[in-house]
Amino acid sequence: MHQGIAFRTALLITGTTGDAEEAAQDAFVKGFRALRRFRTERPFRPWLLAIVANEARNRRRSASRRQGLELRAATEIRPGDAAPSPEAAALRDERRQLLLRAVDGLPAEQRLVVGCRYFLDLSEAETATTLGIRTGTVKSRLARALERLREEVPADV
């Protein structure tokens, strides 16, 4: 049940689907074997994601250079969207692509916090546990990241 979020967490860190898949797989194996260290009063998902993140970081370190996120923002109109005018749709898509590139260009520590909070929809506490940092650090990194994104992708673009 945690496969999707585990894979996407690994993908945020490694940047490639192949590494992400292997990292997630290793994390499930290690997580399962480490279950006796898991404390039931703590939420399971961030505990597992912390193992995933650790595996993913190990793979990223061993890769010669981090590649850009293998992500793209959908450009097609999804069911349920209000039908925008072609111009509005094109503008919106362009803005999404710009924003995605800007996120990808953030320093790794900021990119990961943005990724966890927005792309994975993790809470501040979950993000902190997953990345092995304090919630205060999550807040400050997110604030710096948003400031930088505001500069790089002004609202009127």
Partner 1 sequence: MSDLDRDLRDLAAAIDFPATPDLSARVRGRLAQPERVQPYRWVAIAVAVAVLAVSVGLAVPDARTAIFRLFHVGSVSISFVERLPEVQPGRPLDLGEPISPTEAPFRLLHSELLGAPDTVYRRGGIVTLLYGTRERVRLLVTQIPASGFTPEIGKKLAATGTRVEFVEIAGSPGPGVWITGRPHLVSLPGGPARLASNTLIWQRGPLTIRIEGAATIAQATRIAESLT
- Residues at the interface with partner 1 (CB under 8 A): 3-4, 6-8, 11, 17, 21, 24-25, 28-30, 32-42, 47, 50-51, 53-54, 58, 70-74, 78, 92, 95-96, 99-100, 103, 114, 118-119, 121, 128-129, 132-134, 146, 149-150, 153, 155
60 versus 129: smaller Cβ distance to partner 1: 129
Give how far Cα 14 sits from Cα of 74, 83, 88, 92, 130, Å. 21, 36, 34, 28, 15
**Judged by CB, which is closer to partner 1: 65, or 78?**
78
Residue 97 one-letter amino acid = Q
* Nearest distance in Å: CB 87, partner 1: 17
Residue 65 CB, shortest distance to partner 1, in Å, is 20
**Contact call for residues 73 and 100 (beta carbons, < 8 A):** yes
The CB-of-11 to partner 1 minimum distance in angstroms stands at: 7
Q: Specify the residue, 87 or 151, whose C-beta has the smaller distance to partner 1.
A: 151
CA atoms within 13 A on the CB side of 89: 11
- Record the tokens describing residue 18, joined without a space: 């192949």
Nearer to partner 1, 63 or 134 (CB): 134
Using an 8 Å Cβ cutoff, are 97 and 117 in contact? Answer: no
Contacts of 155 (CB under 8 A, 6+ apart): none
